[in-house]
Structure 1
Amino acid sequence: MRRIGLLAVLTLCWAAVSGSFSVPNLILGALVGLVCFWLVREKLSTERLPIRPLALLTLGLLFLKELALSAWAVLKTVVRRDMALKPGIFAYETGLTRDMEVTLLANLITLTPGTLSVDIRDDGRDGRRILYVHALDCADPAGLRRGIADGFERRIREAFA
Protein backbone atom coordinates (compact mmCIF):
# COMPACT_ATOMS: atom_id res chain seq x y z
CA MET A 1 0.00 0.00 0.00
CA ARG A 2 2.87 2.35 0.79
CA ARG A 3 4.33 1.92 -2.69
CA ILE A 4 0.99 2.71 -4.29
CA GLY A 5 0.96 6.01 -2.42
CA LEU A 6 4.52 6.71 -3.50
CA LEU A 7 3.62 5.85 -7.09
CA ALA A 8 0.72 8.31 -6.90
CA VAL A 9 3.05 11.03 -5.63
CA LEU A 10 5.58 10.30 -8.39
CA THR A 11 2.79 10.39 -10.98
CA LEU A 12 1.55 13.75 -9.71
CA CYS A 13 5.10 15.12 -9.68
CA TRP A 14 5.51 13.95 -13.26
CA ALA A 15 2.29 15.71 -14.26
CA ALA A 16 3.26 18.90 -12.42
CA VAL A 17 6.72 19.02 -14.02
CA SER A 18 5.40 18.24 -17.50
CA GLY A 19 2.54 20.73 -17.07
CA SER A 20 -0.21 18.37 -18.21
CA PHE A 21 -2.70 16.48 -16.08
CA SER A 22 -4.27 14.69 -19.05
CA VAL A 23 -5.07 10.99 -18.68
CA PRO A 24 -2.40 9.85 -21.19
CA ASN A 25 0.24 11.94 -19.40
CA LEU A 26 -0.81 10.57 -15.99
CA ILE A 27 -0.51 7.03 -17.38
CA LEU A 28 2.93 7.88 -18.76
CA GLY A 29 3.90 9.31 -15.36
CA ALA A 30 2.77 6.12 -13.63
CA LEU A 31 4.80 4.04 -16.09
CA VAL A 32 7.87 6.19 -15.46
CA GLY A 33 7.30 5.71 -11.71
CA LEU A 34 7.10 1.94 -12.16
CA VAL A 35 10.35 1.98 -14.13
CA CYS A 36 11.93 3.98 -11.29
CA PHE A 37 10.72 1.38 -8.79
CA TRP A 38 12.18 -1.39 -10.95
CA LEU A 39 15.54 0.42 -11.20
CA VAL A 40 15.85 0.76 -7.41
CA ARG A 41 14.20 -2.51 -6.45
CA GLU A 42 17.22 -3.73 -4.45
CA LYS A 43 17.35 -0.49 -2.47
CA LEU A 44 13.67 -0.53 -1.53
CA SER A 45 13.74 -1.86 1.98
CA THR A 46 10.92 -3.10 4.12
CA GLU A 47 12.18 -0.96 7.01
CA ARG A 48 9.78 1.88 7.63
CA LEU A 49 11.40 5.26 8.00
CA PRO A 50 9.65 7.28 10.70
CA ILE A 51 8.31 10.45 9.12
CA ARG A 52 6.78 13.35 11.00
CA PRO A 53 4.61 15.15 8.40
CA LEU A 54 4.47 18.53 10.16
CA ALA A 55 8.25 18.56 10.64
CA LEU A 56 8.68 17.54 6.98
CA LEU A 57 6.46 20.45 5.95
CA THR A 58 8.59 22.76 8.13
CA LEU A 59 11.70 21.45 6.36
CA GLY A 60 10.11 22.21 3.00
CA LEU A 61 9.20 25.73 4.09
CA LEU A 62 12.72 26.27 5.43
CA PHE A 63 14.11 25.19 2.06
CA LEU A 64 11.85 27.65 0.21
CA LYS A 65 12.93 30.44 2.57
CA GLU A 66 16.63 29.58 2.15
CA LEU A 67 16.14 29.31 -1.61
CA ALA A 68 14.68 32.81 -1.80
CA LEU A 69 17.25 34.37 0.56
CA SER A 70 20.19 32.70 -1.20
CA ALA A 71 18.92 33.62 -4.65
CA TRP A 72 18.59 37.23 -3.51
CA ALA A 73 22.11 37.21 -2.01
CA VAL A 74 23.61 35.73 -5.19
CA LEU A 75 21.73 38.28 -7.32
CA LYS A 76 23.05 41.15 -5.20
CA THR A 77 26.55 39.73 -5.44
CA VAL A 78 26.63 39.34 -9.22
CA VAL A 79 25.21 42.79 -9.98
CA ARG A 80 27.72 44.58 -7.75
CA ARG A 81 30.57 46.22 -9.54
CA ASP A 82 33.32 44.97 -7.20
CA MET A 83 32.07 41.41 -6.48
CA ALA A 84 34.33 41.01 -3.46
CA LEU A 85 34.01 37.25 -3.15
CA LYS A 86 36.03 34.67 -1.33
CA PRO A 87 34.90 31.36 -2.85
CA GLY A 88 36.09 28.18 -1.21
CA ILE A 89 35.40 24.68 -0.03
CA PHE A 90 34.74 23.87 3.61
CA ALA A 91 34.23 20.60 5.44
CA TYR A 92 30.98 20.04 7.31
CA GLU A 93 30.77 17.11 9.72
CA THR A 94 27.20 15.94 9.94
CA GLY A 95 25.68 13.96 12.75
CA LEU A 96 23.17 12.34 10.39
CA THR A 97 23.80 8.61 9.98
CA ARG A 98 21.13 7.32 7.58
CA ASP A 99 22.09 7.41 3.91
CA MET A 100 18.77 8.96 2.95
CA GLU A 101 19.17 11.81 5.45
CA VAL A 102 22.75 12.59 4.37
CA THR A 103 21.71 12.50 0.72
CA LEU A 104 18.79 14.82 1.43
CA LEU A 105 21.09 17.25 3.26
CA ALA A 106 23.61 17.21 0.40
CA ASN A 107 20.85 17.81 -2.15
CA LEU A 108 19.28 20.66 -0.17
CA ILE A 109 22.70 22.31 0.06
CA THR A 110 23.27 21.87 -3.68
CA LEU A 111 19.82 23.20 -4.58
CA THR A 112 20.44 26.36 -2.58
CA PRO A 113 22.04 29.04 -4.81
CA GLY A 114 25.63 29.85 -3.92
CA THR A 115 26.47 26.44 -2.45
CA LEU A 116 27.30 23.05 -3.92
CA SER A 117 27.92 19.71 -2.22
CA VAL A 118 31.17 18.46 -3.71
CA ASP A 119 31.86 15.21 -1.87
CA ILE A 120 30.71 13.04 1.02
CA ARG A 121 33.25 11.06 3.03
CA ASP A 122 32.83 8.56 5.83
CA ASP A 123 35.26 9.52 8.58
CA GLY A 124 35.04 6.08 10.20
CA ARG A 125 33.81 7.29 13.59
CA ASP A 126 30.29 6.40 14.68
CA GLY A 127 29.05 6.44 11.09
CA ARG A 128 29.56 10.20 10.87
CA ARG A 129 29.96 11.71 7.45
CA ILE A 130 31.86 14.74 6.26
CA LEU A 131 30.34 16.83 3.49
CA TYR A 132 32.62 19.03 1.45
CA VAL A 133 30.69 22.09 0.36
CA HIS A 134 31.73 24.76 -2.14
CA ALA A 135 30.41 28.20 -1.26
CA LEU A 136 30.39 31.23 -3.51
CA ASP A 137 31.42 33.32 -0.51
CA CYS A 138 33.35 31.31 2.05
CA ALA A 139 34.62 34.25 4.11
CA ASP A 140 32.98 32.81 7.25
CA PRO A 141 33.07 28.97 7.06
CA ALA A 142 32.14 28.65 10.74
CA GLY A 143 29.00 30.69 10.10
CA LEU A 144 28.14 28.54 7.08
CA ARG A 145 28.58 25.37 9.16
CA ARG A 146 26.41 26.82 11.92
CA GLY A 147 23.74 27.76 9.38
CA ILE A 148 23.61 24.22 8.00
CA ALA A 149 23.54 22.66 11.47
CA ASP A 150 20.84 24.98 12.83
CA GLY A 151 18.83 24.90 9.63
CA PHE A 152 18.69 21.95 7.28
CA GLU A 153 20.33 19.33 9.51
CA ARG A 154 18.18 20.12 12.53
CA ARG A 155 14.98 20.07 10.45
CA ILE A 156 15.95 16.78 8.76
CA ARG A 157 16.62 15.24 12.16
CA GLU A 158 13.19 16.42 13.39
CA ALA A 159 11.37 15.23 10.24
CA PHE A 160 12.79 11.70 10.37
CA ALA A 161 13.06 11.15 14.13
Structure 2
Amino acid sequence: MTTFILNLFLAFSWVTVTGHFEPLNFFIGFILAYVMLWLVRSGSAPSNYFKKVQQVIGFIFFFGHELVKANLRVAWEVIRPGHHMYPGVVAIPLDIKTDAEITMLANLITLTPGTLTLDVSSDRKILYVHAMYIEDVDEFTRSIKEGFEKRVQEVLG
Protein backbone atom coordinates (compact mmCIF):
# COMPACT_ATOMS: atom_id res chain seq x y z
CA MET A 1 0.00 0.00 0.00
CA THR A 2 2.85 2.38 0.77
CA THR A 3 4.28 1.76 -2.70
CA PHE A 4 0.94 2.79 -4.24
CA ILE A 5 0.90 6.00 -2.17
CA LEU A 6 4.47 6.72 -3.21
CA ASN A 7 3.49 6.11 -6.84
CA LEU A 8 0.58 8.59 -6.50
CA PHE A 9 2.87 11.13 -4.83
CA LEU A 10 5.42 10.84 -7.64
CA ALA A 11 2.67 11.15 -10.26
CA PHE A 12 1.37 14.34 -8.58
CA SER A 13 4.95 15.60 -8.42
CA TRP A 14 5.28 14.96 -12.15
CA VAL A 15 2.11 16.94 -12.84
CA THR A 16 3.36 19.79 -10.66
CA VAL A 17 6.81 19.89 -12.26
CA THR A 18 5.46 19.79 -15.82
CA GLY A 19 2.75 22.36 -15.07
CA HIS A 20 0.10 20.54 -17.11
CA PHE A 21 -2.76 19.60 -14.78
CA GLU A 22 -4.53 17.18 -17.09
CA PRO A 23 -5.63 13.54 -16.62
CA LEU A 24 -3.40 12.33 -19.46
CA ASN A 25 -0.35 14.00 -17.93
CA PHE A 26 -1.18 12.45 -14.54
CA PHE A 27 -1.48 9.04 -16.22
CA ILE A 28 1.91 9.52 -17.89
CA GLY A 29 3.39 10.52 -14.53
CA PHE A 30 1.84 7.47 -12.88
CA ILE A 31 3.34 5.16 -15.51
CA LEU A 32 6.76 6.82 -15.26
CA ALA A 33 6.68 6.60 -11.46
CA TYR A 34 5.62 2.95 -11.64
CA VAL A 35 8.55 2.12 -13.92
CA MET A 36 10.94 4.08 -11.72
CA LEU A 37 9.70 2.33 -8.56
CA TRP A 38 9.95 -1.03 -10.27
CA LEU A 39 13.56 -0.33 -11.30
CA VAL A 40 14.65 0.73 -7.80
CA ARG A 41 12.58 -1.78 -5.82
CA SER A 42 14.30 -3.31 -2.86
CA GLY A 43 14.81 -7.06 -2.71
CA SER A 44 14.72 -6.93 1.09
CA ALA A 45 11.18 -5.51 1.19
CA PRO A 46 9.16 -7.30 -1.46
CA SER A 47 5.90 -5.67 -2.46
CA ASN A 48 2.81 -7.21 -4.02
CA TYR A 49 2.09 -3.82 -5.56
CA PHE A 50 3.78 -4.56 -8.88
CA LYS A 51 1.97 -7.89 -9.20
CA LYS A 52 -1.38 -6.27 -8.30
CA VAL A 53 -0.97 -3.52 -10.88
CA GLN A 54 -0.32 -6.13 -13.57
CA GLN A 55 -3.38 -8.09 -12.41
CA VAL A 56 -5.57 -4.97 -12.51
CA ILE A 57 -4.35 -4.11 -16.02
CA GLY A 58 -4.99 -7.70 -17.14
CA PHE A 59 -8.44 -7.54 -15.55
CA ILE A 60 -9.28 -4.31 -17.39
CA PHE A 61 -8.30 -5.87 -20.72
CA PHE A 62 -10.22 -9.07 -19.91
CA PHE A 63 -13.39 -7.16 -19.01
CA GLY A 64 -13.05 -4.90 -22.05
CA HIS A 65 -12.78 -7.96 -24.29
CA GLU A 66 -15.82 -9.60 -22.66
CA LEU A 67 -17.78 -6.35 -22.91
CA VAL A 68 -17.09 -5.93 -26.62
CA LYS A 69 -17.85 -9.60 -27.31
CA ALA A 70 -21.17 -9.42 -25.44
CA ASN A 71 -22.15 -6.14 -27.12
CA LEU A 72 -21.52 -7.60 -30.56
CA ARG A 73 -23.51 -10.74 -29.75
CA VAL A 74 -26.52 -8.76 -28.47
CA ALA A 75 -26.32 -6.32 -31.40
CA TRP A 76 -26.23 -9.26 -33.81
CA GLU A 77 -29.32 -10.68 -32.10
CA VAL A 78 -31.13 -7.37 -32.55
CA ILE A 79 -30.39 -6.95 -36.27
CA ARG A 80 -30.91 -10.61 -37.19
CA PRO A 81 -34.46 -11.72 -37.91
CA GLY A 82 -35.87 -14.48 -35.75
CA HIS A 83 -35.24 -15.66 -32.24
CA HIS A 84 -31.79 -17.18 -31.58
CA MET A 85 -31.59 -16.88 -27.80
CA TYR A 86 -31.47 -19.60 -25.17
CA PRO A 87 -32.45 -17.57 -22.07
CA GLY A 88 -32.37 -19.00 -18.59
CA VAL A 89 -31.42 -18.57 -14.96
CA VAL A 90 -28.33 -20.32 -13.62
CA ALA A 91 -27.25 -20.86 -10.01
CA ILE A 92 -23.50 -20.31 -9.89
CA PRO A 93 -21.66 -21.63 -6.80
CA LEU A 94 -19.27 -19.04 -5.42
CA ASP A 95 -15.72 -19.50 -4.19
CA ILE A 96 -15.40 -15.83 -3.26
CA LYS A 97 -16.39 -14.89 0.28
CA THR A 98 -16.30 -11.16 1.01
CA ASP A 99 -19.10 -8.71 0.30
CA ALA A 100 -16.75 -6.60 -1.84
CA GLU A 101 -15.83 -9.56 -4.06
CA ILE A 102 -19.45 -10.71 -4.43
CA THR A 103 -20.62 -7.16 -5.19
CA MET A 104 -17.89 -6.62 -7.78
CA LEU A 105 -18.64 -9.95 -9.47
CA ALA A 106 -22.38 -9.26 -9.51
CA ASN A 107 -21.86 -5.78 -10.96
CA LEU A 108 -19.45 -7.00 -13.66
CA ILE A 109 -21.92 -9.69 -14.72
CA THR A 110 -24.75 -7.14 -14.83
CA LEU A 111 -22.63 -4.65 -16.79
CA THR A 112 -22.04 -7.26 -19.48
CA PRO A 113 -24.88 -7.13 -22.04
CA GLY A 114 -27.01 -10.25 -22.13
CA THR A 115 -26.45 -11.15 -18.47
CA LEU A 116 -28.06 -9.93 -15.27
CA THR A 117 -27.35 -10.84 -11.67
CA LEU A 118 -30.67 -11.57 -9.98
CA ASP A 119 -29.81 -12.49 -6.41
CA VAL A 120 -27.30 -13.92 -3.98
CA SER A 121 -28.32 -16.74 -1.66
CA SER A 122 -28.65 -15.86 2.03
CA ASP A 123 -25.55 -17.91 2.85
CA ARG A 124 -23.63 -16.03 0.08
CA LYS A 125 -22.57 -19.26 -1.61
CA ILE A 126 -24.73 -19.08 -4.77
CA LEU A 127 -25.19 -16.29 -7.30
CA TYR A 128 -28.30 -16.40 -9.49
CA VAL A 129 -27.70 -15.07 -12.99
CA HIS A 130 -30.08 -14.62 -15.91
CA ALA A 131 -28.47 -14.86 -19.33
CA MET A 132 -29.74 -14.55 -22.89
CA TYR A 133 -27.52 -17.31 -24.24
CA ILE A 134 -27.27 -20.50 -22.19
CA GLU A 135 -26.69 -23.31 -24.62
CA ASP A 136 -24.75 -25.33 -22.03
CA VAL A 137 -25.23 -24.60 -18.31
CA ASP A 138 -21.91 -26.16 -17.31
CA GLU A 139 -20.00 -24.15 -19.92
CA PHE A 140 -21.74 -20.92 -18.86
CA THR A 141 -20.95 -21.60 -15.19
CA ARG A 142 -17.33 -22.44 -16.04
CA SER A 143 -16.94 -19.23 -18.06
CA ILE A 144 -18.16 -17.12 -15.13
CA LYS A 145 -16.05 -18.96 -12.55
CA GLU A 146 -12.83 -19.19 -14.59
CA GLY A 147 -13.25 -15.75 -16.12
CA PHE A 148 -14.89 -13.17 -13.92
CA GLU A 149 -14.73 -14.82 -10.49
CA LYS A 150 -11.09 -15.87 -10.81
CA ARG A 151 -10.01 -12.39 -11.83
CA VAL A 152 -12.08 -10.70 -9.12
CA GLN A 153 -10.34 -12.97 -6.60
CA GLU A 154 -6.93 -12.02 -8.00
CA VAL A 155 -7.60 -8.29 -7.91
CA LEU A 156 -9.35 -8.08 -4.54
CA GLY A 157 -7.84 -11.10 -2.79
TM-score (norm 2): 0.65
Selected match of 1:134 from 118, 124, 130: 130
Aligned length: 114
SS at match of 1:84: coil
CA RMSD of aligned residues (A): 2.4
CA offset at residue 53 of structure 1? 2.0
TM-score (norm 1): 0.63
Q: Deviations over 1:113-134 (max 9, x none)?
A: 00000001134xxxx5211000
CA contact (8 A) 1:56 1:159 kept: yes
Q: Deviations over 1:59-101 (max 9, x none)?
A: 1111111000000011111211122222111100110001101
5+ residue gaps, structure 2, are 9-20, 23-47
5+ residue gaps, structure 1, are 9-20, 23-49
Separation in structure 1 between the aligned mates of residue 139 and residue 68 of structure 2, nearest angstrom: 19
Runs of 4+ in 1 over 2 A off after TM superposition: none
CA offset at residue 139 of structure 1? 2.3
When Rg is computed on C-alpha atoms for both structures, the one with the higher figure is: 2
Structure with more contact order per residue of length (Cα contacts < 8 Å, sep ≥ 6): 1
Separation in structure 1 between the aligned mates of residue 137 and residue 88 of structure 2, nearest angstrom: 9
Q: Does 1:106 align with 2:102?
A: no
Q: How does 1:2-151 map to 2 (within 5 A)?
A: 52-123=52-123, 128-151=124-147
Identity of aligned residues (%): 37
